[in-house]
Amino acid sequence: MSYILTLIAERETGHLSRQLLASLAVPAEGDWICLSENEAYEVPVDRPVDLAPQLAGKAIDWALTPAQGRRKKMLLADMDSTMIEEECIDEIADHLGVGPQVSEITQRAMNGELEFESALRERVALLKGLPVAELEEIFNTRIHCRQGGRTLVQTMRAHGANAALVSGGFTFFTTRVSAALGFEASRANTLNAQDGKLDGTVGEPILGPDAKVEALTHYCAEYGITPGDVIAAGDGSNDVGMIRSVGLGVAIHAKPVLEREADACIRHTGLTSLLFLQGYRRDEFITE
């Protein structure tokens, strides 16, 4: 099997230069191809290679992917700490004054130390009493889309791919993030409310790790594709099953538990890196 080795850096840093590329010892089968000057390059190689020692201390992401079937037909993405910078439940809790209690549970859950469903119920219980109307303020003032997210979604869709947001978070936020970034579909959990306030419970059944894999199966059937046609992105333990099941699973600024399972890890750059991994050139990006 032949592979494509891709290197990506932020353009502004100057870390990725042709001089650096020339210094790397790689089993190249051709010349380096420029996807974006000073930002992204790729080269075909005839066998796996580990660039970690050669790139140690440099803010450069790299990945080795099969040469065949690079451009995927669907993007399946997590939301919290993946397509957005924050964990929505932590931001709600901080607004309510119970931030430390909730964020500690969130970290343990995302690291795989706690069972997802019970950890979610425990955290949501701490949100009881928050007026639903204040969720809009939280979204507008505390939630930020990760760099390159809209370009990623719009570019893939412009080239015929589908895009779905599948989150263990909440529908209040996924519907808004989905609309802002251009996803066609989204799935998430529901925060229950009574008399205009959160009642401390979440709708059942909870959308957790298994439900993300079920969503993958559903969308593949709906769009007439296979899991191998999908690129998935996530950051935590509840994304492991999804990442394992697709053609290209990418860990985005992720926890170690997910990085160990991913085909590629993005640690230094933004979400447009997922386009470079599929062989898109910057002049193909949709940046509207």
- The residues carrying an active-site annotation are 78, 80
Query: How far, in Å, CA of 165 to CA of 145, rounded?
Result: 13
Query: How far, in Å, CA of 28 to CA of 34, rounded?
Result: 15
Query: How far, in Å, CA of 18 to CA of 11, rounded?
Result: 13
User: In 3-state terms, what secondary structure has residue 276?
Assistant: helix
User: In 3-state terms, what secondary structure has residue 118?
Assistant: helix
Spatial strand order of the sheet with 33-36 comes to 33-36, 40-45, 3-8, 61-66
Count of CB atoms within 10 A of residue 55's CB? 18
Query: How far, in Å, CA of 175 to CA of 183, rounded?
Result: 9
Query: How far, in Å, CA of 216 to CA of 246, rounded?
Result: 8
